[in-house]
Copies of this chain bind each other. A is one copy, B any other.
Amino acid sequence: MSELYAGVDLGGTSIKCIFANLDGSIALHRRIPTDSHAGPQDVLDRIADMVQKMAEELGREPTSLGMGVPGLVDFRHGITRFLPNLTTHWIDIPAAEILSNALGCPVRLLNDVRTATLGELTYGRGREASTMVFIAIGTGIGGGVVIDGKLRLGPLGAAGELGHQTIDPNGPMCGCGNHGCLETLASGTALAAEGIRLMLMGLAPHLHELVEGDPARVTAELMSQAAEHDEPVLDAIHCAADDIGTAVANVMVTLHPDLVILGGGVAKIGDVLFDRVRNQVRRRVRMISPDTVRIEPSDLGSDAGVLGAIALAARGLE
């Protein structure tokens, strides 16, 4: 019987956990709300509790556990450095040690998008790639860089922060403090904000209908639906895709990867987005043939994170 590992994806709103073999076949799947208000110890207690209950249900303990977390971590020591989307920001919490003590197995932590990159590399389209870039375009924009089959972390685990490339030097302010980061132009949040603006200005009647005039309900997905009728909404999607294309082009001239995977909610817009991204890359990359780099959607979707956590648990970053 092959070893069983636990993979956790700690998100701002929910925590997902799976038990799986190294080959990626999932034995059990659970999800609980994050509810981070009571602080890190409470969240970690509930994760340990969930893992223990899953182990009881399967009648088997996990050999080790991997966990992706939303922010910067010290991978070597398993300490969270800054998780901006969780209450108290988890500054310097030895989360790996706390979980390891509670569960009696080794625990490894990594940034969530870098973990998902490991998932894409091990179980997704990345299996056939040597050098690969993953960009997760959701509420924010994160990324991961794989070079010659190895995830590139840098000394602080911060390599791959592709959402914080400057795309428009005089562009809007970013949560990070810079101006004109890709994240300010093409994240789900940026896209929704533009959708809301169009709606409020009376330029998106179909979107208005879809969300019943409620700005809080505007999402990239609904904009994608509305774009069939609302030309300005389609234009907003095209603008975001152009900026994503510029970012992809910049990574291509820097690293010439063989594969770029776009994931996250915004990538679910599909062909309308991907066609435009690929066209922009073709316009911008002239030094090498853009056909040498595939630009593809994730085929793991939202499971990339937990599956990457399984790879992290089983093999670390060897």
Residues of A at the B interface (CB closer than 8 Å) are: 72, 131, 145, 147, 152-156, 158-162, 164-169, 174, 176-178, 242-243, 246, 249-251, 253-258, 283-289, 292
| Nearest B-chain residue to A246, judged by Cβ | B166
Q: List 27 A-B contacts (CB under 8 A).
A: A145-B254, A145-B255, A152-B255, A154-B255, A154-B256, A154-B257, A155-B292, A156-B256, A156-B288, A159-B254, A161-B254, A161-B288, A162-B253, A164-B253, A164-B285, A165-B253, A165-B254, A166-B249, A166-B284, A167-B169, A169-B243, A169-B246, A176-B286, A176-B287, A177-B286, A178-B249, A251-B254
Question: With A and B bound together, what is the CA distance between A161 and B167 in angstroms?
Answer: 17
Question: Given A164-B287, A166-B284: A158 and B256 within 8 A (CB)?
Answer: yes
A176 and B284 alpha carbons, distance in the complex (Å): 9
Q: What is the minimal beta-carbon distance from A69 to any residue of chain B, in angstroms?
A: 15
Inter-chain contacts of A145 with B (CB < 8 A): 254-255
Residues of B within 8 A of A154 (CB): 131, 255-257, 288
**Taking the full assembly, how many copies of this chain does it contain?**
2
Q: Label chain A's interface by main secondary structure.
A: loop
* Distance between A92 CB and nearest chain B CB, rounded to angstroms: 15
A289: chain B residues at CB < 8 Å are: 156
A226 to chain B, nearest CB (A): 26
Residue pair B253, A161 in contact (C-beta under 8 Å): yes
Instruction: Check B147–A152 contact: CB distance below 8 A.
Output: yes
Check A169–B168 contact: CB distance below 8 A.
Answer: yes
Question: What's the least CB distance linking A221 to chain B, in Å?
Answer: 26
Residue picked from A159, A243, A251, A287, most chain B C-beta under 10 Å: A287
- Please tell me if the beta carbons of B285 and A159 are within 8 angstroms of each other in the complex: no
Docked Cα-Cα span, A214 to B24, in Å, equals: 69
Q: Ordered nearest first, which 4 A-B pairs have the shortest CB separation?
A: A154-B256, A176-B286, A177-B286, A159-B256
* In the complex, residue of chain B having the shortest beta-carbon distance to the beta carbon of A165: B250
When distances are taken between beta carbons in the complex, the residues of chain B under 8 Å from A131 are 154
Which residues on the B side are within 8 Å of A286 (C-beta)? Answer: 164, 174, 176-178
Q: Which residues of B contact A285 (CB under 8 A)?
A: 164, 178
